[in-house]
Amino acid sequence: MIILASASPRRRELLRNMGIDDFLIRPTDREEPCDPSLSPGQAVEKIALGKCRAAALSASAGDIVIAADTLVFLDGKPLGKPRDSRDAARMLSALSGREHHVITGMAVISQGTEQSCAVSTAVRFLPLTEAQIDWYVSTGEPLDKAGAYGIQGLGGMLIDSIDGDYYNVVGLPVARLAGMLSRAGYDVFSKGEQI
């Protein structure tokens, strides 16, 4: 059985888009701060691996556990989820007209074997007016998303360009995950047949 250690509806949808319909959702309570002594990629990879290990403690022998953590980095500093509307507007103002990096740490644990990685995508925002920021914040969309925007929703209108994996910005780099699952013995291209 595949276990997704995340409550993110976007990650659930991306797993289903990969043809994986039979999985359990077991988010962990684990909230780990971003370690400033590590590079951004190492920091999110460490967070994802910690979540995956926590979820694997209650997994059965044949289960495959997947965990991910996505953070937005501007000038090397992490932007998590905004605390409130004012914080969301502050983040969006900081991102306006600039490039930032969205980095997802991802981990897979199966039969005692751990895999982890970090995937980075460069995203450039359009220059935003205060009215555009206020409108977007008023939609409520930015309030539960790292960096205060969702590329797959209305936030897509704020983006000038991306360089890298689109699905990474959504929160789960599916091509990289497919390879990790394959190495864990689950072939997504043949509907999970053991390989």
Could you say which of 69, 84, 144, 160 is catalytic?
Answer: 69
- d(C-alpha 90, C-alpha 148), whole Å: 9
Secondary structure of the chain as H, E, C letters: CEEECCCCHHHHHHHHHCCCCCEEECCCCCCCCCCCCCCHHHHHHHHHHHHHHHHHCCCCCCCEEEEEEEEEEECCEEECCCCCHHHHHHHHHHHCCCEEEEEEEEEEEECCEEEEEEEEEEEEECCCCHHHHHHHHHCCHHHHCHHHCCCCCHHHHHEEEEECCHHHHHCCCHHHHHHHHHHCCEEHHHCCEEC
Q: How do 64-74 and 77-79 pair as beta strands?
A: antiparallel
The reply to whether 69 belongs to the active site is yes
Q: What residues are annotated to the active site?
A: 69
